[in-house]
Amino acid sequence: MGRAVLVVEDDPLMRSFLTEVLAAEGHRVEGAASGREGLARLGQEAWDLVITDLRMPGLDGLSLLREGRKVRPEARWIVVTAHGTVESAVEAMKAGAADYLLKPFKSPDEVRLVAQRALQEVDREARISLLSEELGRDFPPLELIFLGTAMEPLRSLVREVAPTSAGVLLSGASGTGKEVLARIVHAWSPRRDRPFIAVNCAALAESLLESELFGHERGAFTGAVGTRKGRFELADGGTLFLDEVGEIALPVQVKLLRVLQERVIERVGGGRPIPVDVRVVAATNRDLKALVGSGKFREDLYYRLNVFPLRLPTLAERADAIVPLAEFFRARYAARFGKRVDGFSEAAREALRRYPWPGNIRELQNVVERAVILSGGEIDAGHLSLEPPEACPPVRDELRAMERETIERVLRESSGNRRAAAARLGISLRTLQYRIKDYGIT
């Protein structure tokens, strides 16, 4: 599909050459003879790609880049420079350029390749926008997902691995956004038009998880009244996201390893091998290597899953993203609840920045949702209900001990049935799973 490309170049021959090369690729290309003209054109319509010379009289290319990104933050930029001014190209990359071209060009193909790379990034971000629409307002914009200096290396790594078929292992604390990142890996991959299927491995008992993953034949067990496809079959051609993969029992780990090695599954109660073409993205908030050392996780499965590891930083490591994320959630919940909430007071912003966020983005989301409900115009620090973690440690420790004791008692009375225990405690199964791990309850 052709894209809108603006070429800003004061040399008419070079401007004509770049325009003709890219127009031949099916793009709609227009030229501007100066930086000032280019800046004016930027404000008149949307552009997917801007190619600008760096050395131009009046408004030079670097100044145009800095000003133009304020006007069209969604556009990709390529700067053109001579061999003797490579340092300027590096400075332009730091200012936000996606790539650069050195004059004289080796061939028209060099121009096509650099432009193609930049436009692929436009396509990737467009897919995230579509994903946001499909998943509703709960899916943050791409610029928020990767906001903060701690996320910049991660974004580069995701760009590299997403177009491949390599397995990905996402690690990070609960609430850091592992499923969101898994969906981005899928959306930026050639499998994007095929299914994305997610499974929470901690939410299902061993026997149920095996049936959930691999399916079952009619009569395979009591209650199997018909044949049922598993998640691997449903994800055929696409991506299977295995959340909390460290919770999988050893017998199921053996079968999962076979699927990853041989690319075939067998339904429970069936003996017929069924070929599947699935990319697996796994996630864990536990130390899988430590689980391998203690014999709770197979070493061969660990290395099979850990082809391309990605670690998500905690929210505390993304201090520069806390307030922008809070503003996003504020706008979302204000719209959802039909309330006018003008923003955060300076005291609230300071409280957001100082709090350590042990529950990460999920905790921030819940805190802001509650604050929107409580506030009557502007969110103040009191609406956030953030108790400093160092406050009243004896009381907090006593409460944690009481909570652990209650959970252990209810689990014993429920004969270890976590779903029944969660119902008796009045919490979700996922919350109970989190508390069991947090307290180390066996």
Candidate from 163-167, 286-290, 350-354, 414-418 with smallest mean pLDDT? 414-418
Residue 138 pLDDT more than 60?
Answer: no
Residue 261 pLDDT more than 70?
Answer: yes
Give the model's pLDDT for residue 203: 80
Give the model's pLDDT for residue 337: 84
Residue 225 pLDDT more than 70?
Answer: no
Residue 126 pLDDT more than 60?
Answer: no
Q: Are the C-beta atoms of residues 193 and 239 closer than 8 Å to each other?
A: no
Candidate from 225-239, 261-275, 398-412 with smallest mean pLDDT? 398-412
pLDDT above 70 as % of the chain: 89
- Higher local confidence (pLDDT), 220 or 347: 347
Please state the rounded mean pLDDT for residues 252-259.
93
Give the model's pLDDT for residue 331: 86
Question: Residue 238: pLDDT band by 50, 70, 90 thresholds?
Answer: very high
pLDDT digits (tens, 9 = 90+) for 274-313: 999 999 999 999 999 999 999 999 999 999 999 999 999 9
Give the model's pLDDT for residue 133: 45
Give the model's pLDDT for residue 21: 92
pLDDT digits (tens, 9 = 90+) for 383-442: 998 865 444 445 456 667 777 888 888 888 888 888 888 878 777 777 787 778 777 787
Element (H, E) at 367: helix 360-374
Alpha carbons 315 and 1: distance in angstroms, whole number: 38
Q: Which residue, chain included where needed, has tokens 């790539």?
A: 99
Query: How many CB atoms are located within 10 Å of the residue 196 CB?
Result: 21
Candidate from 21-30, 34-43, 393-402 with smallest mean pLDDT? 393-402
Report if pTM > 0.85. Answer: no
Question: Residue 84: pLDDT band by 50, 70, 90 thresholds?
Answer: low
Q: Are the C-beta atoms of residues 434 and 286 closer than 8 Å to each other?
A: no
Q: What domains does the chain contain, in order, with CATH numbers? A: 4-124 (3.40.50.2300), 149-311 (3.40.50.300), 315-384 (1.10.8.60), 393-439 (1.10.10.60)
- Between strands 274-275 and 343-344, the pairing is unpaired
Tokens of 12: 């008419």
Question: Phi/psi of residue 214, each to 5°?
Answer: -110, -10
Q: What is the DSSP string of 158-213?
A: HHHHTTS---EEEE--TTS-HHHHHHHHHHTSTTTTS-EEEEEGGGS-HHHHHHHH
Give the model's pLDDT for residue 93: 78
